[in-house]
Structure 1
Amino acid sequence: MDSYDLDRFRGVFTALVTPFKSGAIDHASFDALVERQLAAGIAGLVPVGTTGEAASLSDAEADDLIRRTARSAAGRAFVVAGAGSNSSASTVDKVRRAEAAGADALLVVTPYYNKPTQAGLLRHYAMVAEATALPIMLYSVPGRCGIEIAAETCAILRERHGNIVAIKEAGGSVDRVTRIRRLCGTDFVIHSGDDALTIPFLSTGAVGVTSVVSNIAPVEMVAMVRAWHDGDWRGALALHDQIAELTDSMFLEANPGPVKAALAFAGLAGSEVRAPMAEMDPGNLQRLAEIIDRFRQNGNLFQEMR
């Protein structure tokens, strides 16, 4: 692990949406969204993850998005490409393709649907780690995958594989941060996988967040996490409170429906999603529109959207 600069994982990483237009990727909107993130001072970009509808992308589309992100972010932000699936062989292929496309690191979700045991996860991640020299961020999200990476399993993986250096923890439990740190050591990187839990996670030892809401509010998320790292806890909490309603609204329905709708309301990208996802329920859409409108008019928030 000493050969990796783990400070590169510090801060806000945006789980990028993939804009579509008439079924195809809207490259112009994607590039503009990436540039907006970089201008806001985002530390990292995560293309082709859950928020990017990775499961609905072809390999060629995923490669292109990673390549475009890496090209735009070069020297400006760390690129952690999504590279997981529910097949170990397919995951290894995705890992190699992401590395070839220019990713700086890899985000590898637990296999979904299969529900492997912890022994199965050890086998899966060993295959992944041996396929690449890039640093790997584990991704535990039991709400989507049906399984959790046990803290003990994290510790074994960290010990056996020098390039497994981090975890995106999206199980909703702050207690998990302490347990993972205790078993894996304080130099094992932890990211919050839930925007609403960013401050609680940072307070117990996480160093960053892989964020959905930063697609729409990158300036505010960067300011909040920087304030925390700078010791301005009151300022960080004030920003947390200011964006709490917006953060909650990103999950009125399954991600990325709401964040894509929010970007459309802001005139930043279209709201189109790929099947099996569907456009938001009209009632939820109206509620989201009202929230976005309030934030547009609220103090210094969303100044670049006015």
Structure 2
Amino acid sequence: MQSFIGTGVALVTPFKKDFSVDTEALVRIVNHVIEGGVEYLVVLGTTGEPATLTEDEKELVIDTIAKANNGRLPLVLGVGGNDTAAVVNELKTRDFSRFSAILSVSPYYNKPTQEGIYRHFSAVAQASPLPVILYNVPARTGSNVLPSTILRLANEYNNIIAVKEAAGDIVQAMKIIQHKPKDFLVISGDDMIALPMVLAGGAGVISVIGEGFPKEFSEMIRLGLQRKTDEAYAVHYKIADSIDMIFEQGNPGGIKQIHKAMGLSEHTVRLPLVEVNEELAVRIDSFVKSLGY
């Protein structure tokens, strides 16, 4: 579990202008974040646009990242969905030899009750050959995994080791931190409140902006974990405006614009997502330049 203290980044899937997967750009991005000092990489999370990737493309993305990483950092694979049986089947049949954990989102669209969420993740925990990081993101799933449900799962299943908490609610996060088992990790899924969560007892973040500015963001989280509050907040306020900008017109359009400004990749996304508009692109490009990139 020590592997997941600090900054993880949710990797994008870069596309060429013809919408095909750009493996060369993906290698550049992997090297960019590793050289920036992050602690682990998350593959095929929401930011990677897995909903619009074919199965062959998903395998291409996994292979490209694993080869580029070359064992340097732990890898976490996104394995989730709103059909429990399908998720369980993937957990029983996929090759996880290159991964250290899975990140599994709460079922979306169905809007299950807390009991349904509990039973879903119970099935995931029983089927998973790897440690499980729960993922609570109500803005995308339509339902909030309450602290009581997260704590119930954390206490009952030893292989549920963490939660990526992205409700955007610091009070909810603090309730989990207050009552969690000793070794259970509470990881921020919201870049803007990642530092306050760390200072409240959280373990770090799975970040989007950290994929653009890995050096700055991962250093901020390390300073927070070291309780160097003033120094950490100085970094936070230096990059805070960029966090607002990259989510202003949806993820991953904003972070892909940062990558384009840095010369790492195109800013192409697949429908129904669209690129950020020209006005926001100009602001993002200006911010990137202001940091010296």
Assess same fold via TM > 0.5: yes
Identity across the alignment (%): 35
Aligned to 2:137: 141
Q: Which amino acid aligns with 2:2?
A: D
* Aligned counterparts, 1:251-262, within 5 A: 251-262=247-258
Q: 1:127 corresponds to which residue?
A: 123
Normalised by the length of structure 2, the TM-score is 0.94
* Inter-partner Cα distance in structure 2 for 1:156 and 1:239: 36
C-alpha distance 101-68 of structure 1, shift in aligned 2 (>3 A): farther
Match of 1:63 in 2: 59
1:253-291 deviation per Cα after TM superposition (whole angstroms, max 9, x unaligned): 110011101111111111010111112222222232232
Deviation at 1:69, TM superposition (A): 2.6
**2:184 aligns with one of 188, 195, 198:** 188
The question of whether the paired residues in 2 share the 8 Å contact of 1:177 and 1:205 is answered with no
Q: Which residue of 1 aligns with 2:260?
A: 264
Aligned length: 292
Which string of whole-angstrom CA distances, capped at 9 and with x for unpartnered residues, describes residues 162-190 of structure 1?
21110000011111222112332232101
Q: 2:233 aligns with which of 237, 243, 246?
A: 237
Gaps of 5+ in 1: 1-5, 297-304
Counterpart CA distance in 2 for 1:271 and 1:295 is: 20
Equivalent pair of 1:106/1:136 in contact (CA under 8 Å): yes
**What's the RMSD between the two structures over aligned residues?**
1.6
Q: CA deviation at 1:97?
A: 5.6
Q: What is the aligned counterpart of 1:14 among 9, 21, 42?
A: 9
Distance change >3 Å, CA 31–CA 94, structure 1 → 2? farther
Offset from partner CA, 1:218-274 (integer Å, 9 cap, x none): 010121112222332221111111111112211111100111011111111110101
2:156 corresponding residue in structure 1: 160
Letter in 2 for 1:13: G
Per-residue deviation at 1:88? Answer: 1.2
Query: Per the alignment, do residues 242 and 251 of structure 1 end up closer, same or farther by CA in structure 2, a change over 3 Å counting?
Result: same
* Worse-superposed segment, 73-82 or 118-127: 73-82
- 1:63–1:98 CA contact under 8 A, matched in 2: no
Residue 246 of structure 1 corresponds to which residue in structure 2? 242
Kept in 2, the 8 Å contact 1:66–1:98? The answer is no
CA distance in structure 2 between the aligned counterparts of 1:294 and 1:47, rounded to whole angstroms = 29
Pair 1:25–1:93, CA change in 2 (3 A): farther
**Structure 1 residues 97 and 282 mapped into 2: Cα distance closer, same or farther (>3 Å)?**
farther
Is the aligned partner of 1:289 residue 2:285? yes
Higher mean displacement: 182-191 or 40-49: 182-191
Counterpart selection for 2:35 from 39, 45, 53: 39
* CA distance in 1 between partners of 2:213 and 2:94 (Å): 27
C-alpha spacing 1:233/1:182, structure 2 compared with 1 (3 Å):
closer
Q: How many Å separate the matches in 2 of 1:11 and 1:36?
A: 17
- Does the 8 Å CA contact 2:36/2:213 hold for their aligned counterparts? no
- The C-alpha deviation readout for 1:32-56, integer Å capped at 9, x for no partner, is 1111211122101001011111111
Counterpart residue number, 1:91: 87
| Residue type at the aligned position of 1:210 | I
- Provide the secondary structure at the position in 1 that maps to 2:13: coil
Q: Is the 8 A contact 1:181 1:205 kept in 2?
A: yes
The one of 147, 150, 153 equivalent to 1:151 is: 147
Give the aligned residue type for 2:200.
T
CA 1:135–1:29 in 2, change beyond 3 Å: closer, same or farther?
A: same
Q: CA deviation at 1:74?
A: 4.6
